Structure 1
Amino acid sequence: MGKVFSPRFTGIDVVGESEFTRGQSCPPYEKICEDNNMTLTELKYIVAVARVKHFGHAAEACFVAQPTLSVAIKKLEDELGVVIFERGGTEISVTPLGSQIVAQAERVLEQTATIREIANQNKDPLAGPLRLGIIYTVGPYLLPPLVKTMIEQVPQMPLVLQENFTVRLLELLRQGELDAAIIALPFPEHGLMVQPLYDEPFVVALPKHHAWADRASISAQDLKSETMLLLGNGHCFRDQVLEVCPEMSRFSTAGDGIARTFEGSSLETIRHMVASGIGITVLPQASVPDIGAKDGMLRYVPFTAPGPSRRVVIVWRKSFTRHAAIEAVQKAVLDCGLKGVTLLHDALAVEG
């Protein structure tokens, strides 16, 4: 029987850590369970509503009808004797006490995922699906060769895939909705295991008739005189480019910053904008053909050494027990033939 590789994880979306409100306390989960018939489903519902601030959208994320979700949440509020959400027409907000309850619910859901992992630790760690997240600027270029290699090396372990922003993937990972994620350093999270996979240089993409098209290399300093096309906010690759090319973060008209900038929603959108002559951009090496190749309307030129780059890693929770599954993904990445990157065969996993 063939394996199915889903382009998105078919599970409930949950939020990250909520802030606690000083001066109020939330009853311990054990005490709540003694007095109420609380279910994990109800906890998933309140976490979903707290994230999207909308009952209808939360119901869609949970794959249930809105009345089902609304009734379950109202039942939970009645049993607890508290108001978790303030309902004001179309506006939904979390009460101060509700924020504490949602935060506790997130921890309970994470611990539930850990219980499942413990229960499976004596089984074959390579048997069964692995829920793998990957950032938008890596997925389109790594996934095709990676999935093919995984099918060849570990056919008994199908991948359930989700592409998303780094912050969202870390939330899903922390809540047990993902087993691991492939992202780029640095990332705003601690307490995860981090296995380096490869280093990837950045290159400059130019219209084929650009004055720099025949250069052997380009200095980051030169970019400030150009119209730059960047990914929008939320993409970690945008932040990485701004970090290694600080000239791009200055938008003054005094001659020391970028002449103009435009934002795109994806690297492919930006690539087409460059081909149209709107401006130039910076791309990760794996997303482009061989350096110097003539890609239709585009030319790709490396940075002057030492050029900027990013480190791509796989991360997972310390409590995740299927270590062999992580090692299988690492091996497949190293074996899949991804071009233009420096593979880190000898890198050791560390705690992030």
Structure 2
Amino acid sequence: MLTLPSPQQLRYLLALADHGHFGRAATSCAVTQSTLSAGIIALERQLDAHLLERGSAKRPVFTPLGLEVVGRARTALSALEAVAETVAAARDPLSGPLRFGVIPTIGPFLLPRLMPALREAFPRLRLWLREDQTDRLVGQLEAGRLDLLLLALPCACGEVETLPIAADPFLAALPADHRLASRERVPVAALGAERLLLLEDGHCLRDHALDVCGLARGAMPAEDGIAATSLHTLVQMVAGGLGVTLLPQLALEGGVLAGAQVEIRPLESEGGSPPSRSLALAWRARSPRAAEFRGLAPAIAAALQPA
């Protein structure tokens, strides 16, 4: 009969793979470095296999077999956690810790309204927040380090389940003296002749803006490598007369303009309906907490409504 690794041994191994440093891995596991090292050595002896290369390298180097074991360890620990989560969700739904990821073009504008609403509706729920770009959040979700995401579709979301909860229309943001500011609505086609300011690569809103304007992803490279790192910076670039951009309605309601000399106009498209992105929840496929996450959707949708 095979001797199986313990969950603690697998946690040590994953911590080392994630942090790439024995000291930081040990800290994340709340143990001493010697305890973590001994646990991994014991795992190698138990498996009768070398998972790490032994040499002078200061950072741990995994063998090819070690990398494969790391991947399988993630799957195994996720399955074990799912067992506990299933019982906890049935006993006391929407309570306890929830690791919640949100993208930067949503978080600053929604969370001030959402957090008080969730505290009132679900007082036993403890939210741990992580703000990051979509790709990194999805990676952390798939690795089991996050439970639930709030992001914008369309996106390359991998093997996750998504639940759209609200449409977030785009509006044109123009310098105060721009020729298009004299119009009540700005045709999307008219933006093709303008210098379109965008967020830097990695922000899904950049791709959404390109899609709205009918431009290929990867188009419109920033001059001199300059691109905005946030919507607030993008607004200031527009106010400075550097070009035009698209802003989501959620950000406008959240005060992204903050007194900037920028004109906002609705967009007019040939299809009739205004261009928009879809705000959605995302979680791991077959998550035992899927019913809980769907239960959160109405509260989040309500917080998305204009104040």
1:31 correspondence with 2:8: no
Q: Find the counterpart in structure 2 of residue 274 from structure 1.
A: 238
Equivalent residue, structure 2, for 1:27: none
Q: Unpaired segments of 5 or more residues in structure 1? A: 1-29, 252-256, 341-352
Alignment of 1:189-268 (within 5 A): 189=157, 192-247=160-215, 249=217, 251=219, 260=223, 262-268=226-232
2:277 alignment counterpart? 310
Which residue is equivalent to 1:145?
113
Counterpart Cα distance in 1 of 2:227 and 2:115: 30
Task: Name the SS of the counterpart of 1:311 in structure 2.
Answer: strand
Which of the residues 59, 63, 73 maps onto 2:40?
73
For 1:139 and 1:66, the matched residues in 2 are separated by 36
Cα 1:296–1:118 change in 2 (3 A) is closer
1:135-192 CA-to-partner distances (Å, cap 9, x unmatched) read 2211111212111221222223232222222233333333433332212223434554
* Mapped contact 1:223–1:248 kept (Cα < 8 A): no
Once the two structures are superposed, the pairs formed by residues 1-352 of structure 1 within 5 Å of their partners are: 31=2, 33=4, 38-51=5-18, 53-55=20-22, 58=25, 62=29, 69-86=36-53, 89-90=57-58, 92-189=60-157, 192-247=160-215, 249=217, 251=219, 260=223, 262-289=226-253, 295-305=259-269, 306-322=273-289, 325-339=292-306
Q: Which amino acid aligns with 1:297?
A: Q
Matched residue count:
301
Letter in 2 for 1:316: W
Give 1 or 2: higher helix fraction: 2
| Paired residue secondary structure (2:182) | coil
Give the conservation status (yes or no) of the 8 Å contact 2:185–2:268: yes
SS at match of 2:125: coil
CA 180–249 in structure 1, closer or farther in 2 if over 3 Å, else same: closer
Local SS of the residue matching 1:162: strand
Task: Return the alpha-carbon distance in structure 1 between the equivalents of residues 191 and 198 of structure 2.
Answer: 12
Deviation string, structure 1 residues 51-85 (Cα, Å, up to 9, x no partner): 45454555565566655544543443344333334
Taking structure 1 as the reference length, what is the TM-score of the superposition?
0.72
**CA contact 1:247–1:258 (8 Å) conserved in 2:** no
User: CA 1:53/1:337 → structure 2, altered by over 3 Å: closer, same or farther?
Assistant: closer
Kept after mapping to 1: 8 A contact 2:103/2:134? yes
| Alpha-carbon distance between aligned partners in 1 of 2:133 and 2:72, rounded to the nearest angstrom | 24
Give the secondary-structure state (helix, strand or coil) at the position aligned to 2:226.
strand
CA distance in 2, matches of 1:162, 1:290: 19
Residues 279 and 51 from structure 1, CA distance in 2 versus in 1: closer, same or farther, beyond 3 angstroms?
A: farther
Q: Is the 8 A contact 2:192 2:213 kept in 1?
A: no
| 2:119 counterpart letter in structure 1 | I
> Partners in 2 of 1:270 and 1:331 — Cα distance?
31
